[in-house]
Structure 1
């Protein structure tokens, strides 16, 4: 996997920066497209259900779960 790429997203009215490997961003972009929502909406969905897990970890796990891993 490559180096981390940062993106800014707005979660609950607060700007947040999220760093993931490009491969995970590609997977999340594909999921958002498949679900016909924005990447921000997808990350908000993940954020709501992540519990105590860090957001970046929750995004990676979500991408893997959706991939059927």
Structure 2
């Protein structure tokens, strides 16, 4: 996989940076569809267990999406 790409998003009024591989960002953008990427990330953030890091939760969401599509 490629190097990590950092992006900043606002979650609950706070800016946070997330570092993921470009391949994960591409699928997250596909998952977001017509809504904003920040909205999708906020939804995943709200559902994740507090002990799971956000980047990990995003990767797991991408995996679940890919499994449903395949």
Which residue of structure 2 aligns with residue 15 of structure 1? 15
Which residue of structure 2 aligns with residue 24 of structure 1? 24
Q: Which runs of 4+ in 1 moved over 6 A?
A: none
CA RMSD, aligned part only? 1.0
- The equivalences for 1:25-64 within 5 A come to 25-33=25-33, 36-51=34-49, 52-64=51-63
Q: How high is the TM-score relative to the length of structure 1?
A: 0.93
Q: What is the CA–CA distance in structure 2 between the aligned matches of 1:15 and 1:53, rounded to whole Å?
A: 18
Structure 2: stretches of 5+ with no match in the other structure: none
Structure 1: stretches of 5+ with no match in the other structure: none
Q: What is the CA–CA distance in structure 2 between the aligned matches of 1:61 and 1:21, rounded to whole Å?
A: 13
Q: What is the CA–CA distance in structure 2 between the aligned matches of 1:67 and 1:32, rounded to whole Å?
A: 14
Q: How high is the TM-score relative to the length of structure 2?
A: 0.92
